[in-house]
């Protein structure tokens, strides 16, 4: 950057303060300020005004209309096939899981009464009693066994087949208890069972054009690609039933249209809006925003086994060339946390805080590229709108490259079929990873030698060994120490550059109460329907 941008303008201060008023947790804020280099003294004054959060008492009744950002004919009521936010919202409202994660990432019990294990390999799950499905059938262990086993059947096409594979034995002990034996010890089973795909369906269900779950709402209408309407489940087993009478969920893919629909009052909740639209909302008093830093990120992957990734120094040079501050400020308008090139975000207990992100140093990058003999050669970077903001990020990398004589060519490809044709395949390309509750899932999915999504083909036997060791470790301190070291290894050796963790911004009418951030994603981990209410 010839001229380092100086004016972190007053507008952005106002925005940060605006974020506080809406109940962003204190810890998020601190991290945000630290990462963006704003002096603590200046930050102090901002905090004072945050404490006057409004006392919140739930009100029942009313019907809410919410809009996500994408839906298509591929929408489904089958939790195993759920792939988009619209599917997750629908499943959360109609089904329940054995466990769920609260706003602080702690595991809470839902359908399960208790989950016990002594060696983290064989687990005993006892179910709550008095829980009935919408069609009146009471919940039994058979339903749980059926729901978990179906993920192994390829005909179902389950998204979590690779995770479910570790459950070698799923058996019914009696009507109220289920036994699960894992291939190898894994202390995170309770957190895994909190994933949306492990919702519990009635035994033997195959037709998913209708939904028969135990959840807070009964699915009244479901038109794939159009809309779905849920009506309050009167005999809901939870003591505090859903506050809303009904809720309607559909998608408005155009960000501007979604924001305008909220501002004109047609909808009460607009999911994941573009950070640039924050400026529109601030001026409007009856609209608020809810920001969650849940660990979603768009990363630059450089295949270590293909040219130019295989050239020594290229990956490290790229990590120095990425201007994380520019990406945070101009692409995400400050609504992102600068990351240190590893997947475990600050929202996770095991985040390694003393692993400093690489500072932006074009000269060092130039030296590395020179050593790798790549100065001046044209290097294509594949980007697409399928990976959030990847095109803008690619442009920023291209600009930094121009300064030091590196020629990057940005190949913008259609989002249609991006995940099957370009992701994992192009030598240098962008990917996008949704938040996962545990480092174990992240590392086994992304960085293990046999990982299905090993974006940069990072192969390290030492890493694999540590992964298995950490998985079985029951002593939390030991586990944290291993995960911290693994994070350093990924940051320094893997071919994936992760510039920022993207904060998810949901905009909602000020009449909506009870929406809290959640590590599993925006809209309160997609389970907002059950917990929010409409003030008069």
Partner 1 sequence: MTDKALSFRLPTPRNLGYSFNWVGRIGLLVILFWAVVAIIGPEIAPYPPGEIVNWDYFTPMSHDYLLGTDYLGRDVLSRILMGARYTVGIALVSVFLACAGGVILGMVAAVVGGWFDMILSRLLDAFNGIPSLLFGLVTVAAVGSSIPVLVLTLAAIYLPGSYRFARALSVNVNTMDFVTVARARGERTPYLILREIFPNILGPVLADLGLRFVFIVLVLSGLSFLGLGVQPPNADWGALVRENIEGLSLGAPAILFPSVAIASLTISVNMFIDNLPTKIRDRS
Partner 2 sequence: MLRSLTTWMLVGQRLAIALLTLVIVSFAVFFATELLPGDVAQILLGQAATPEAVAGLRKAMGLDEPAILRFLGWLAGLLHGDLGTSYVNHMAVAQLIGDRLVNSLKLAGITTLVSVPVSLVLGISAAMWRGSILDRVVTVLTISVISVPEFMVATLAVLIFAVWLGWLPALSYAADTSSFTAILKAYAMPVITLTFVVSAQMIRMTRAAVIETINTPYVEMALLKGARRSRMVLRHALPNALGPIANAIALSLSYLVGGVIIVETIFNYPGVAKLMVDAVSTRDLPLIQSCAMIFCVSYLSLITLADLIAILSNPRLRR
> DSSP secondary structure string, 19-87?
HHHTT--HHHHHHHHHHTT--HHHHHHHHHGGG-PPP-------EEEEEES---TT--S-GGG--SHHH
Does 185 participate in binding partner 1 (rule CB under 8 A)?
no
Per CB under 8 A, the list member of 72, 168, 286, 307 interacting with partner 2 is: 72
Does 285 participate in binding partner 2 (rule CB under 8 A)?
no
Per CB under 8 A, the list member of 293, 346, 384, 456 interacting with partner 1 is: 384
Per CB under 8 A, the list member of 409, 425, 462, 465 interacting with partner 1 is: 409
Q: Which residue has the tokens 């992100």?
A: 357
Does 266 participate in binding partner 2 (rule CB under 8 A)?
yes
Does 417 participate in binding partner 1 (rule CB under 8 A)?
yes
Residue 395, binding choice from partner 2, partner 1, none, Cβ under 5 to 8 Å by partner class: partner 1
Per CB under 8 A, the list member of 416, 475, 477, 536 interacting with partner 2 is: 416
Greatest alpha-carbon span in the chain: 70
Q: Least distance (Å) from partner 1 to the CB of residue 272?
A: 15
Residue 287, binding choice from partner 1, partner 2, none, Cβ under 5 to 8 Å by partner class: none
Please, are residues 190 and 97 in contact by the beta-carbon 8 Å criterion?
A: no
Distance CA 531, CA 536 (A): 16
Give the side-chain half-sphere CA count within 13 A for 24: 31
Q: Least distance (Å) from partner 1 to the CB of residue 414?
A: 4
Contact segment (CB under 8 A) with partner 2 among 9-17, 220-228, 296-304, 464-472 equals: 220-228
Return the ∠ at Cα 453 (arms to 93 and 76), rounded to 5°: 25
Per the DSSP assignment, residues forming a β-bridge with 65 are 248
Determine how many CB atoms are found less than 10 A away from the CB of residue 425: 11
Per CB under 8 A, the list member of 307, 402, 434, 462 interacting with partner 1 is: 402
Does 248 participate in binding partner 2 (rule CB under 8 A)?
yes
Does 253 participate in binding partner 2 (rule CB under 8 A)?
yes
Per CB under 8 A, the list member of 194, 339, 394, 446 interacting with partner 1 is: 394
Per the DSSP assignment, residues forming a β-bridge with 407 are 378
Residue 391, binding choice from partner 2, partner 1, none, Cβ under 5 to 8 Å by partner class: partner 1
Q: Which two tokens stand for residue 513?
A: 């109460």
Does 1 participate in binding partner 2 (rule CB under 8 A)?
no
Q: Least distance (Å) from partner 1 to the CB of residue 135?
A: 42
> DSSP secondary structure string, 122-143?
EEEEEEPSS-B-TTSPBP-HHH
Does 410 participate in binding partner 1 (rule CB under 8 A)?
yes
Please, are residues 250 and 227 in contact by the beta-carbon 8 Å criterion?
A: yes
| Nearby residues of 153 by Cβ (< 8 Å), 6 or more positions away | none
Q: Directed axis angle between helix 461-472 and helix 476-493, to 10°? A: 160
Q: What share of the chain is helix, strand, coil (3-state, %, to 5)?
A: 35, 20, 45
Question: Which of 35/281 has CB closer to partner 2?
Answer: 281
Contact segment (CB under 8 A) with partner 1 among 21-29, 195-203, 308-316, 395-403 equals: 395-403
Residue 345, binding choice from partner 2, partner 1, none, Cβ under 5 to 8 Å by partner class: none
- Residues within the interface to partner 2 (CB under 8 A): 65, 67, 72-76, 81, 83, 154-162, 209, 223-227, 248, 250-254, 256-257, 260-261, 263-267, 416-417, 419-421, 423, 452-453
């Amino acid at each position: 950057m010839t001229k380092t941008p100086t004016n972190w303008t007053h507008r952005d201060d106002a925005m940060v303060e605006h974020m506080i008023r809406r109940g962003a947790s204190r810890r998020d804020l601190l991290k945000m300020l630290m990462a963006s280099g704003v002096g603590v003294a200046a930050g102090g004054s901002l905090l004072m005004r945050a404490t006057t959060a409004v006392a919140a008492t739930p009100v029942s009744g009313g019907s809410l209309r919410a809009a996500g950002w994408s839906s298509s004919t591929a929408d489904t009521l089958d939790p195993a096939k759920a792939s988009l936010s619209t599917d997750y919202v629908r499943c959360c409202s109609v089904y329940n899981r054995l466990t769920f994660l609260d706003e602080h990432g702690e595991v809470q019990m839902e359908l399960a009464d208790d989950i016990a294990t002594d060696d983290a390999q064989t687990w005993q799950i006892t179910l709550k009693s008095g829980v009935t499905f919408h069609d009146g059938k009471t919940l039994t262990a058979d339903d749980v066994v059926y729901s978990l086993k179906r993920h192994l059947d390829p005909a179902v096409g389950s998204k979590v087949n690779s995770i479910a594979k570790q459950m070698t034995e799923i058996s019914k002990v009696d009507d109220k208890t289920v036994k699960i034996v894992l291939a190898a010890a894994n202390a995170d089973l309770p957190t895994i069972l909190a994933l949306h795909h492990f919702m519990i369906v009635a035994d033997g269900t195959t037709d998913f054009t209708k939904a028969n779950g135990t959840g807070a709402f009964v699915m009244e209408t479901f038109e794939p690609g159009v809309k779905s309407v849920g009506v309050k489940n009167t005999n809901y087993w939870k003591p505090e039933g859903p506050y809303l009478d009904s809720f309607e969920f559909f998608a408005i893919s155009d960000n501007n249209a979604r924001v305008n629909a909220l501002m004109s009052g047609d909808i009460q909740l607009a999911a994941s809006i573009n950070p640039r639209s924050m400026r529109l909302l601030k001026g409007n008093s009856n609209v608020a925003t809810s920001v969650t830093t849940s660990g979603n990120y768009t990363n630059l992957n450089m295949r270590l086994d293909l040219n130019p990734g295989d050239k020594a120094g290229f990956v490290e040079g790229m990590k120095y060339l990425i201007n994380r501050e520019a990406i945070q400020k101009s692409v995400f308008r400050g609504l992102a946390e600068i990351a240190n090139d590893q997947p475990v975000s600050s929202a996770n207990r095991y985040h390694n805080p003393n692993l400093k992100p690489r500072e932006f140093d074009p000269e060092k990058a130039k030296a590395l590229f020179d050593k790798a003999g790549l100065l001046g050669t044209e290097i294509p970077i594949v980007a697409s709108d399928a990976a959030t903001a990847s095109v803008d990020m690619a442009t920023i990398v291209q600009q930094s490259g121009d300064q030091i004589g590196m020629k990057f060519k940005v190949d913008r490809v259609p989002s249609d079929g991006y995940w099957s044709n370009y992701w994992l395949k192009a030598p240098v390309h962008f990917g996008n990873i949704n938040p996962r509750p545990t480092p174990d899932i992240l590392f086994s999915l992304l960085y293990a030698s046999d990982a299905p999504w090993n974006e940069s083909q990072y192969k390290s036997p030492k890493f694999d060994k540590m992964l298995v060791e950490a998985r079985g470790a029951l002593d939390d301190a030991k586990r944290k120490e291993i995960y911290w070291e693994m994070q350093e290894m990924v940051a320094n050796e893997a071919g994936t550059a992760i510039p920022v963790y993207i904060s998810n911004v949901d905009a909602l009418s000020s009449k909506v109460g009870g929406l809290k951030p959640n590590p599993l994603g925006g809209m309160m981990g997609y389970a907002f329907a059950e917990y929010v209410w409409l003030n008069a």
